[in-house]
Amino acid sequence: MNVSTLRPAAPSLTTHIASAKENKDTQAPAEAEMHPGPSTEDVSDLKPGDKGYDGEKVNVKFGAPLSHKLVAAAGALGTAACVGRMIWQVAEQPTLGAKIAWGAGALAAGVAGYAAADFGSGVFHHFIDNYPKKPDIAKPGELSWNTPVIGDMAAEFQVHHHFTRDLEKVPFISNLYPSGKFMWAGLAALAAFSPNAAVTAAGTAFLGGAFLAQGSHRWTHEPNPPAIGKFMQKVGLAQSKEDHYTHHKMPWADHYCIVNGMWNPVLTRNDFWRKWEGMIYRVTGAEPNSWRDPGVKELALGEITKEEFLNRRPEDKKIFQSLVRASGEREALMPWLHGREELTENHAPK
């Protein structure tokens, strides 16, 4: 039996929005009230460097579990092995011209692979932020935070909207672990079996970028990232603070790419995510969390123009805030916030 069928049908999003419109003046809280404290602020009206955006450095209280250390080591060794194989594949070419051609091809393939990783991170981030929902709001058949495997991942991504500094409460390699536990095996296979330098470069850049994504994300929130993070941000290999802060503007509906964010401006400029949401809705009937903002929904469905959407932002933002607060989302997500710390603590070195 499908347990979801035992749940009462959730009120429609249209009903929620209509109720919020009627009560927006009294229900819509100030953002500081919704997100009290230095680690729970919404940064909709702040930019990196403003007081309240970065806050103080968060102290890591727990050590990384052995499994996290092993995955990080495997990823580093796999990447090094792939780079070594790529160099060897170029070097073994019989002529200088062939070496140059293979090297140029590998470079182009690497750039393409890294770009694909950034775009892929956006597609995944958009999905995980928007489609698994709070269980009492999810309709029968919809994904929720209780859905096996994907539910916990969704809750950990969504709690970050309310507790923006949570990534820093665990060691850096623990941020890399959720994706790294899948990527290290791909890097190992690539190092062993890749047929040519272009494939090696593309695969290494894609898998390495996916491995690093949450690390790049973490650096956008740290007041003082490590030297390697600052360097990668400066040269465009990691996402900048300025690029990522846009994602944290309610309704958390843009700038989903987190490897280096190269796709974010063009995707936003072309309303890609609204078109993507509209297509998914027409095929599956699923409504994303971002549609709690009525302007986002109407733009995605082609019911208003971009100009109308922008003109309505202040009013629609209040409606979104009201719906988020009324749903109890922030409070309901807190077990995942604390659960992450407890999981790491239980495996910490004594």
Are 259 and 213 spatial neighbours (Cβ–Cβ below 8 Å)? yes
**Confidence at 340, pLDDT banded by 50, 70, 90:** low
User: 10 Å Cβ neighbour count for 85?
Assistant: 20
Exposure string of 125-156, with b = 16+ CB inside 10 Å and e = fewer, is bbbbbbbbbbbebbbeebbbbebeeebbbbbb
Judge whether residue 204 has pLDDT over 80: yes
Average pLDDT score over the chain: 84
- Residue with more model confidence, 17 or 159: 159
pLDDT score of 116: 99
Are 151 and 132 spatial neighbours (Cβ–Cβ below 8 Å)? yes
pLDDT tens-digit readout, 27-86: 333 333 333 333 334 444 445 554 444 555 666 666 889 999 999 999 999 999 999 999
pLDDT score of 166: 85
Judge whether residue 233 has pLDDT over 70: yes
Tokens of 16: 């929620």
C-alpha 289/C-alpha 268 separation (Å) is 17
pLDDT score of 2: 35
- Residue with more model confidence, 64 or 20: 64
pLDDT more than 70, % of the chain: 79
Judge whether residue 234 has pLDDT over 50: yes
pLDDT tens-digit readout, 105-143: 999 999 999 999 999 999 999 999 999 999 999 999 999
| Mean pLDDT, residues 169-190 taken together | 94
pLDDT tens-digit readout, 257-312: 999 999 999 999 999 999 999 999 999 999 999 999 999 999 999 999 999 999 99
User: 10 Å Cβ neighbour count for 59?
Assistant: 7
pLDDT score of 35: 34
Angle formed by the axes of helices 313-327 and 329-346, nearest 10°: 60
Are 85 and 191 spatial neighbours (Cβ–Cβ below 8 Å)? yes
| pTM for the full predicted model | 0.82
- Residue with more model confidence, 230 or 170: 230
Judge whether residue 338 has pLDDT over 60: no
pLDDT score of 335: 86
Tokens of 113: 């692979």
pLDDT score of 154: 95
Ordered DSSP codes for 48-86: TTSTTTS-SPPPP-SPPPHHHHHHHHHHHHHHHHHHHHH
Q: Which residues are CB-contacts of 291 (< 8 A; sequence separation ≥ 6)? A: 13, 277, 297, 300
pLDDT score of 33: 31
pLDDT score of 58: 61
pLDDT score of 346: 41
Longest C-alpha distance within the chain, in Å?
A: 75
